[in-house]
Amino acid sequence: MSGLFIKTTKGMAVIEKSEGELPMRVRRILIMVDGNRTVEEIRELTMSADLDMALQLLEEEGYIERAQAAAVDGTQATSAKITSANFKFRELPPSPKAKDLDMARHFIINTLKTFCGPVAHLTIVKAATAATSHTELRELFSPWYEAIVATSAGARRSEELSEMLLKVI
């Protein structure tokens, strides 16, 4: 199995519950499905021999769907791509402060860990850690925002969190 999956409303609801209707190993895979990670990336993280079976079960039961299918019928809000053009970045001073760069970097990393989990969106975390300019961090804004709004707590606070990040990015 290959491709990109996103959680459905049913999938997001089951993640919010502490006790589950899913076996723990399947629940872990559901948590890793975020619309950004490919099946191959999830396979590397989980090292699960039965990943294809778990994804098939999740898809058949309506917890996940292929990202491309969701984008076509428009039923899944998390499949909509957010672009940097949707947000107004501040004008950078002629010589940006290293402190602002560090604050933006740490904000991205810490909010992802808080709202998405400690091992979620490692690609974004690695890119933020390696970023050496505000321009590089601004390129991460869209994927960061998509990751945050994919969680229920993040969706509720997305406007506030975005404003906070935009002040330093």
20-50, pLDDT tens digit by residue? 688 888 888 998 898 888 888 888 888 877 8
For residues 6 and 59, give the distance between their C-alpha atoms in angstroms, rounded to a whole number: 10
How many other C-beta atoms are found inside a 10 Å radius of the C-beta of residue 59?
18
Q: What is the pTM of this model?
A: 0.52
Is the domain of 42 the same as that of 104? no
Closest alpha carbon to 26 in 6, 8, 50, 4: 50
Backbone angles phi, psi at 37, to 5 degrees: -80, 135
User: In angstroms, rounded to a whole number, what is the distance separating the alpha carbons of residues 106 and 13?
Assistant: 29
The span from the CA of 30 to the CA of 55, in Å, is 8
| Residue 163 predicted with pLDDT over 50 | yes
Q: 140 and 67 in one domain?
A: no
75-85 pLDDT, tens digit each: 444 333 444 44
| Tally of structural domains, the chain | 2
Same domain, 98 and 151: yes
Domain match, 67 and 115 both: no
Instruction: Give the tokens for residue 92.
Output: 């950078």
Q: To 10 degrees, what angle do helices 98-116 and 122-130 make?
A: 170
Of 45, 78, 111, which marks where a domain is finished? Answer: 78
Q: Report residue 73's pLDDT band, with 50, 70 and 90 as the boundaries.
A: very low
Q: Side chain identity at 28, as an amino acid letter? A: R
Phi, psi of 120 (to 5 degrees): -85, 145
**What is the domain range of residue 45?**
5-78
Considering the domain architecture, whether residues 72 and 98 belong to the same structural domain is answered as no
Q: How far is CA 166 from the centre of its chain?
A: 18
The radius of gyration of the chain from alpha carbons, rounded to an integer in Å, stands at: 17
User: Looking at 15, 44, 78, which one is the last position of a domain?
Assistant: 78
Of 16, 50, 78, the residue that ends a domain is 78
Residues contacting residue 101 through CB under 8 Å, at least 6 positions apart: 131, 132, 133, 134, 137
Whether 99 and 44 map to the same domain: the answer is: no
101 and 24 co-located in one domain: no
